[in-house]
Amino acid sequence: MDWEDTPVLVTGGDGFIGSRLVTRLGELSADVTVASKTESGRGKFVRIDVTKQDSLDFEGQEVVFHLAGIADPKICEENPEQAFLINSYGTLNVMEECRRSNIERMVLSSSAHVYGAPERLPVAEDHPLRPTSTYGRSKVAAESICLSYGATVLRFFNVYGPGQRGDYLIPTILSKLEGGSITLRNLNSMRDFVYVDDVVDAMLLAVDSPRECFNIGSGRGSTPKEIAELLSNVSGKRPKLVSMDKPDRIKELVADIGKAKRLLGWGPKVNLEDGLRMTYEGFE
């Protein structure tokens, strides 16, 4: 797609993934509008609250990337009503505004949390949706809404990269590298880590894709122990690893990315070691 001068609106464009998407769209000379509760200084800005339909006005936009929502599973568990209000009902409001504004190119950022504990690995898009968390359930509802409006859904696995904050594995390790030890919940759970710029590539390709669900991951699993060791290698720091030996509800979750390769022409370009090096170098 030729992005030059294309009007694009990004809800949640001030967040970790959204801000990288906005930067890339700017580099492609798109006419970008960031729609969020808080101004980030990137592109044009409109203040919205997805839970309030009258705050949404997408008139004149041609593409909408919907990333606004509560992305922290812990916050969702603490307040399920708020999780569904923002992640699910808020998504309905966004899709309704797209319909009223005659926007046909819409992409939702969803999550691998929709799968729950997998019956088989790697997990393909036709795997049953049995989420074990409030966050995952709110995303299943959001997906259903978006698909009924003709949007494309991208199920992100463990996205990482410079600028990521919060109680996630890689920022947690990075914040403790200077200390003598790093204590983690466990060292053996397996997750699929995908670099944020690869995720942005997938979002751009998804605009002209079939209106379906796609897994966006690396296709390989890594444990907290492996991640910590790689970060030790790229940083030169050697803190002691300590495990609390608390098992995760989901022991392994790895993406089958074959569908995205076939139908989007997408595949991850950044390997884990290079991605972790760039993340370490960009960590503040």
Cβ-based neighbours of 218, under 8 Å, separated by 6 or more: 157, 192, 193, 194, 195, 198, 255, 257, 268, 272
DSSP letter for each residue of 49-86: -TT-GGG---TT-SEEEE--S---HHHHHH-HHHHHII
User: What's the pLDDT score for residue 166?
Assistant: 85
The amino acid occupying position 52 is: K
* 241-254: pLDDT as tens digits: 999 999 999 999 99
The residues with which 213 forms a beta bridge, in sequence order, are 153
Residue 206 located in a structural domain: yes
> What CATH code is carried by the domain that includes residue 81?
3.40.50.720
- What is the extent of the structural domain holding 28? 7-160+194-218+253-269
User: What's the pLDDT score for residue 284?
Assistant: 66
| Local mean pLDDT, 10-residue blocks, the chain (284 residues) | 96 96 97 90 88 97 98 96 98 98 98 97 98 98 98 98 93 92 96 98 96 98 97 94 94 98 98 97 86
User: What's the pLDDT score for residue 125?
Assistant: 98
Task: Give the helix ranges, DSSP H, for the chain.
Answer: 16-27, 73-78, 80-84, 90-100, 134-148, 169-176, 196-206, 224-235, 258-259, 272-281
The pair of three-digit structure tokens given for residue 159, joined into one six-digit string: 């996205």
The pair of three-digit structure tokens given for residue 246, joined into one six-digit string: 């608390």
* 14-59: pLDDT as tens digits: 999 999 999 999 999 999 999 998 887 667 999 999 999 999 999 9
* Residue 23 to residue 18: CA distance in whole angstroms: 9
Residue 92 located in a structural domain: yes
Give me the number of domains the chain comprises.
1
Residue 172 located in a structural domain: no
